[in-house]
Structure 1
Amino acid sequence: MTTVTPKGAPPAEGRGRMPALYLGHGAPPLADDALWTGQLSSWAAALPRPKAILMISAHWEEAPLALSATTTVPLVYDFWGFPQHYYEVTYAAPGAPELAASVRKLLRAPGTPVQDIPDRGLDHGAYVPLVEMYPDADIPVLQLSMPTLDPRRLMEIGRKLAPLRDEGVLIVGSGFFTHNLRALSQDGTVHSVMSEFDDWGRRALEAEDIDALLDFERKAPAGQLAHPRTEHFAPLFVTLGAAESELSSQRSVIDGFWMGMSKRSLQFG
């Protein structure tokens, strides 16, 4: 059932089961793209207000699995060669110690340690979209590392995290639906590899063909060209695991291309 929010009122906080998201986080210049920032803002406004946000970003690979700071610490400006103002962006979201405790309980097991890195701030895969979606920075945020790029293992992590959705937690996998920096285009030209992979991925998702998605490097057209390294597609599998019982509810909230890359972003639930 769709909940209609009265005009001028924010969506109810943590009402019912939260959706699970996979979004394209772009790069620091995303803030200069009025279309994309508007799409992210509108998306967030249509969601129930989260009690907390769990981010899984393409830009944090750490094993054993790790949790970021649970207090407000400086951001991680994990990029180089950009104008100075991109390094002056702030996002002082509250830490999420209660969420961290829940994640530890769900994921920690014999042979599967969970480590804490108390000075690790949010990287640009986390804060760039959050600045647009929740600009007041008033929702607790925790970032979770990817301990592997194996899609099956990441789906299993997502499955274990799924109960958090019933506690008002918004689980967000943040990557890019295609990601090959050699195909970046300043004039917006889209290489056929990117458009073909985007179309294949859309159809595989609509068909709920998880086996094909798990084996995308072999089964997708030019999968290894669309993703020479798979870290930007990998967060999708955490989202798929967290939403496995609701794959039929999926929808592409954002599609199209930015600088030649697919910015397809998905909501489940």
Structure 2
Amino acid sequence: MHPTAAADALIDPRHPFRAHLKHVAALGGHRAWTPDDGLLPALYLSHGAPPTFEDAAWMRELAGWARALPRPRAVLIVSAHWESDSLGITSTAPTELVYDFGGFAPMYARMRYDTPDATALAQQLRAVLPETAHVFEHRGRGLDHGAWVPLKVMYPEADVPVLQLSLPTHDTTTLLALGERLRPLREQGVLVVGSGFMTHGLPYLDWSRPDVVPGWSADFDAWAADALDRGDVEELARFRLRAPGLRYAHPTVEHFTPLFVTLGAATDPTAGVTTAVDGFFVGLAKRSFQVA
């Protein structure tokens, strides 16, 4: 048995993620991408943490989104949870996940996501970056939860090679340019993903009232949705000056800025986006979208 499936088989049958696995299995085979499909879209997704595995509706949305697209040849994902001064990638060979969270049930630190070797994807990545770009492979680093949590929901079979690319800056111009460099990978069946959370003001949530959406979260989400729908990249890039509720929605900005890698990878970043997931989770906006 595949080690990921073996670990999943140990999860309590009553857990929502086990029901999700049955749902995905019942959908049957996932058609693989071919060159005839043309460019895959690029995605920005709000990734959540282990509680994502307990939210049946959210998992259905993510899995349905994945199934609406051909199964990619590989996934290159930029997560909010790995910031660096220079570009790095996770190990191309399968290695242990990063369980960068705490306070949750021990079962989540026993989950696995053993994806295939990603050496070919690393070569493709280096081919589209400038010759002067040094991309260091962190051979001891696996995927962090900003990568493996959503991908385990979307592609639970763990049959797609995955590399995580570090977030080297929060400068929007640089991130848009990085995304533009990654754009040719979409022609090769690579799914380019920016993984964050549309609002992430954890210190300012009222955890005793999880169904209440704070005004700052709703206002920021509405501002972002409007700019994204209009393809107003300039407005989004000025988020520090323009976004309502920023100091509460993003007291640090690493969960918002992966969005600019996604927009940069678009064929036309000003063309507007297609929203795949919206709504709120414990007051946080889980807006997620794709670009053509």
Q: Same fold, TM exceeding 0.5?
A: yes
Q: 2:259: which partner in 1? A: 236
1:149-204, CA deviations, whole angstroms, 9 ceiling, x for partnerless residues?
Answer: 11111111000000000000000100000111123344221110000000000001
Q: Distance in 2 between matches of 1:137 and 1:268?
A: 24
1:113-142, CA deviations, whole angstroms, 9 ceiling, x for partnerless residues?
Answer: 211111210000000001110000000101
Equivalent residue for 2:196, pick from 175, 195, 198: 175
1:187-241, CA deviations, whole angstroms, 9 ceiling, x for partnerless residues?
Answer: 2211100000000000011111111101101111122321111000011000000
CA contact (8 A) 1:183 1:260 kept: no
Q: Number of aligned pairs? A: 262
CA contact (8 A) 1:107 1:114 kept: no
Shift of 1:8: 5.5
Equivalent residue for 2:114, pick from 73, 83, 92: 92
Equivalent residue for 2:243, pick from 220, 237, 249: 220
Shift of 1:37: 0.6
Q: Distance in 2 between matches of 1:231 and 1:244?
A: 24
1:54 partner SS: strand
Q: 1:13: which partner in 2? A: 33
CA contact (8 A) 1:103 1:161 kept: yes
Letter in 1 for 2:261: V
Q: 1:3: which partner in 2? A: none
1:33 paired to 2:61: no
Shift of 1:48: 1.2
Q: Distance in 2 between matches of 1:74 and 1:12?
A: 26
Equivalent residue for 2:220, pick from 194, 197, 201: 197
CA contact (8 A) 1:55 1:142 kept: yes
1:230 partner SS: coil
CA contact (8 A) 2:220 2:245 kept: yes
Letter in 2 for 1:217: R
Shift of 1:248: 2.5
Q: 2:170: which partner in 1? A: 149
Q: Distance in 2 between matches of 1:104 and 1:167?
A: 14
Letter in 2 for 1:10: H
Q: 1:121: which partner in 2? A: 142
Q: Distance in 1 between matches of 2:125 and 2:85?
A: 16
1:188 paired to 2:211: yes
Letter in 1 for 2:83: E
1:268 paired to 2:291: yes
Equivalent residue for 1:166, pick from 171, 187, 206: 187
CA contact (8 A) 2:85 2:169 kept: yes
Q: Percent identity?
A: 48
Equivalent residue for 1:209, pick from 219, 232, 242: 232
CA contact (8 A) 1:55 1:171 kept: yes
- Unaligned 5+ segments in structure 1 are 1-6
Q: Distance in 2 between matches of 1:27 and 1:101?
A: 30
Q: 2:44: which partner in 1? A: 22
CA contact (8 A) 1:76 1:120 kept: yes
- Unaligned 5+ segments in structure 2 are 1-26
Q: 1:133: which partner in 2? A: 154
Q: Distance in 2 between matches of 1:255 and 1:185?
A: 20
| Cα RMSD after superposing both structures | 1.5
